Amino acid sequence: MKPIIQDFNTSENSVTSTLRTIVLFGRNVSTYKFALASTLLKLKPKNFITYEELRDEFLNSLLTHYKKNPHQYQAGENSLTRAFDKYMLDGNWNDLLISAEKNIYNNVFDAFHNVGGGSIKKEHLLFEHLPHEKKLVLTDNINELLEQRNYLEVLKNENESRWMIVEEAWKNNLSPNFLVYNQSTNEFISVSSTDRINLRSAVSVLLPYQHGCCFYCKKKINPYANSEDSDFPDVDHFIAHSYFKRPELIHINPDGVWNLVIACKECNRGIGGKFDRIPDLYYQSEIINRNLLFTEEHRHSLKNSILLSLNAQNHNEVLRRMYSLFDKFKIIEGWKPLIIYNYE
């Protein structure tokens, strides 16, 4: 995370990059940061702003989002969401203000500049928080920003888009990093389906692990064969693409190495071939073992791509992800080839 922030600041050394960095790379457990950014972007340049001057706009901006999507907090509900629920029933704005003041202001102001486990450097801060005086002292950085009318609109839009991605991701139990918001179509796109890799390149890497044989029938295949030859290596998606349209699987990248095996043409698409079927339990445990092997080997070239494509941090998470994935298919009758040449 750190190198990205540095690149960002050197390539575009202005206050807009600071706000972008905060909004795009900040770790979120709630969407307060977006509400505060949106509030700050509406200010006129000034020396400081008190809690009192800031709170209505801040809460209004949160409430507007909350009404459309209640997933404003990663862990579900908290005291503020309960205060919003109460407000929507009784319309008592004052109670909402009191609750917000008691529970969130300090956290929001102090956490605003945190990015990727650290904070923005002092010279880039947008404000200084003085909790005892209940105010934010605005720095030259933000005042300079507030004078750049053209940029303000761009930043407001970016902040809104990122906000919508985060709340939409939480709603669907996804990591926000797997969603992109397309403003022109008003749609959310899963990054995993746009990030295609060159699948043919998998042959030379994966075939040695299969001892040069088809993953399923164990027949020898020839990495140099032409596509018309019967021993041509097909790159097979162990779990076919079609299954990943299910909402609970949309965050997994089906083109990831974790899901690729090398199969003979017959097994992949011949008579009695696999096509879109789920492979038999025997093969499920084989592919789990293979993926674990890749992630166990400390410097294996595929280790990172296995981890990334499964959104896993380590070996144990790979195991958990794969078990829970296959668990979804356990009621499906598995496929296996009619003839197995060298069943180990």
Query: Nearest to residue 192, comparing CAs of 259, 135, 268?
Result: 259
Partners of 189 in the β-ladder? 180
Choose between 217 and 260: whose C-beta lies nearer to Zn ion: 217
Q: Based on DSSP, count helices (H) and strands (E) in the chain, helices before strands.
A: 15, 9
Q: Which residue in 214, 307, 310, 318 binds Zn ion (CB under 5 A)?
A: 214
Instruction: Name the one range near Zn ion by CB under 5 A: 168-176, 209-217, 226-234, 326-334.
Output: 209-217
For residue 14, give every residue at least 6 positions away whose Cβ sits within 8 Å of its Cβ, in sequence order, or none: none
Query: Nearest to residue 184, comparing CAs of 166, 207, 161, 159?
Result: 161
Burial class (CB in 10 A: 0-12, 13-18, 19+), 307: buried
Instruction: Name the one range near Zn ion by CB under 5 A: 48-56, 264-272, 276-284, 316-324.
Output: 264-272
Residue-wise burial string across 1-34, b where 16 or more C-beta atoms lie within 10 A, e elsewhere? eeeebeebbeeeeebbbbbbbbbbbbebebbbbb
Choose between 234 and 255: whose C-beta lies nearer to Zn ion: 234
Burial class (CB in 10 A: 0-12, 13-18, 19+), 260: buried
Q: How many amino acids of this chain bind Zn ion (CB under 5 A)?
A: 5
Instruction: Name the one range near Zn ion by CB under 5 A: 5-13, 139-147, 161-169, 267-275.
Output: 267-275
Is 221 a residue that touches Zn ion (CB under 5 A)? no
Instruction: Name the one range near Zn ion by CB under 5 A: 124-132, 193-201, 216-224, 274-282.
Output: 216-224
Instruction: Name the one range near Zn ion by CB under 5 A: 55-63, 109-117, 167-175, 260-268.
Output: 260-268
Choose between 214 and 318: whose C-beta lies nearer to Zn ion: 214
Spatial distance between the Cα atoms of 177 and 180, rounded to a whole number of angstroms: 8
Q: Which residue in 19, 96, 213, 217 binds Zn ion (CB under 5 A)?
A: 217
From the CB of 221, what's the least distance to Zn ion, in Å?
8
Is 23 a residue that touches Zn ion (CB under 5 A)? no
Partners of 50 in the β-ladder? 135
Is 216 a residue that touches Zn ion (CB under 5 A)? yes
Choose between 160 and 236: whose C-beta lies nearer to Zn ion: 236
Query: Tokens in use for 265?
Result: 């043409």
Is 35 a residue that touches Zn ion (CB under 5 A)? no
Choose between 233 and 256: whose C-beta lies nearer to Zn ion: 233
Is 267 a residue that touches Zn ion (CB under 5 A)? yes
The 48-87 contact track toward Zn ion, x by CB under 5 A, reads ----------------------------------------
Spatial distance between the Cα atoms of 81 and 71, rounded to a whole number of angstroms: 9
The answer to whether 127 and 43 have CB atoms below 8 angstroms apart is: no
Choose between 65 and 265: whose C-beta lies nearer to Zn ion: 265
Is 170 a residue that touches Zn ion (CB under 5 A)? no
Instruction: Name the one range near Zn ion by CB under 5 A: 19-27, 127-135, 150-158, 217-225.
Output: 217-225
Count CB-CB contacts under 10 A for residue 239. 22
Count CB-CB contacts under 10 A for residue 324. 10
Q: Which residue in 63, 83, 125, 264 binds Zn ion (CB under 5 A)?
A: 264
Spatial distance between the Cα atoms of 94 and 100, rounded to a whole number of angstroms: 10
Applying CB under 5 A, which residues contact Zn ion?
A: 214, 216-217, 264, 267
